[in-house]
Amino acid sequence: MNTSVSVQRYLSLIKFSHTVFALPFAIIGFFLATRYFDYSFSLYKLVLVILCMVFARSAAMAFNRYIDRDIDKQNPRTAQREIPAGIVTAQSALLFTIGNSIAFVISAFLLNNLCFILSPIALLIILGYSYTKRFTPLCHFILGLGLALAPIGAFIAVSEQFHLFPILYGLVVLLWVSGFDIIYALQDKEFDQSLQLHSIPTWLGKKNALRLSIALHILAANLVVLVGGLAGFGIWYWMGTTLFIGLLIYQHTLVKVDDLSRVNLAFFTTNGLASVGFAFFVLLELFFHF
């Protein structure tokens, strides 16, 4: 098999482009430690943090596709995913998961002892998420928790300790991701009910699920404001905050209970721009204010 074709298949399997959701917050956590708290900068550690993010998310997505392969085959929306379509074998996806999990733990070990000690817990959360829709509608929050580890882990990679600010950013990610994952799950409400799978839309209905998503995003927006106030950030941060909140509001104008045609625009494009744009302005604040 052509190597480039094989790589493309695996990048498609893990939806590599979706790394854009959590990676910018990991970058925020890293430079929050080096610029705001004056820990020494290390390019070596920055590369390892990025590798940890890539390996962890690759393992999580490949495992999700492996675990859900029979479900995906039955769902018209997901039947053309790589495993049910026969593009990638289930065994290959499992081996890919194992390889990335090992690489993640090794990268964490190379960072520091605390990262290494916490790495199995992180793997338990991000891999365990794939099972959760089988028994709880709170599965969206487990996904959010997995991505919420990004700013916290990146800060620990530099400082080898916890701090309130990265934890608050972790809560932002948890609420933000949970909220937009609920929107995404609206597409599969009827299918999930037919297989007795759990989600917020199947539990609360579409209208109340959208209301909960809005509430979660309001909380996320307030936490972003709270961190800015506590840290004493300036104009660049507030420009990023305005962009982030504006895009949260915009995505909720795209999705209606009776019109889910623009869910992908709300899920992928809007949230990708929110994460990257916010990180861009936070970095401007950290580099040009402190």
Q: Where are the domains of the chain?
A: 3-288
In one-letter notation, the amino acid at residue 79 is A
Q: State the pLDDT at residue 21.
A: 86
Query: One digit per residue, pLDDT tens: the chain, 290 residues?
Result: 445 445 666 555 556 556 778 999 999 999 999 999 999 999 999 999 999 999 999 999 999 999 999 999 999 988 888 888 888 899 999 999 999 999 999 999 999 999 999 999 999 999 999 999 999 999 999 999 999 999 999 999 999 999 999 999 999 999 999 999 999 999 999 999 999 999 999 999 999 999 999 999 999 999 999 999 999 999 999 999 999 999 999 999 988 888 888 887 777 789 989 999 999 999 999 999 76
- Look at residue 5 in the predicted model and tell me its pLDDT: 47
CA distance 53 to 69: 24
Structure confidence at residue 17 (pLDDT)? 56
Cα–Cα dist 90/64, whole Å: 11
pLDDT (0 to 100) of residue 26: 97
The chain-wide mean pLDDT, for the chain, equals 92
- For residue 15, what pLDDT is reported? 60
pLDDT tens for each residue of 1-10:
445 445 666 5
Superfamily in which the 3-288 domain is placed by CATH:
UbiA prenyltransferase (1.10.357.140)
- The encoded tokens of residue 239 equal 């420009």
* Span 177-219, pLDDT tens digits: 999 999 999 999 999 999 999 999 999 999 999 999 999 999 9
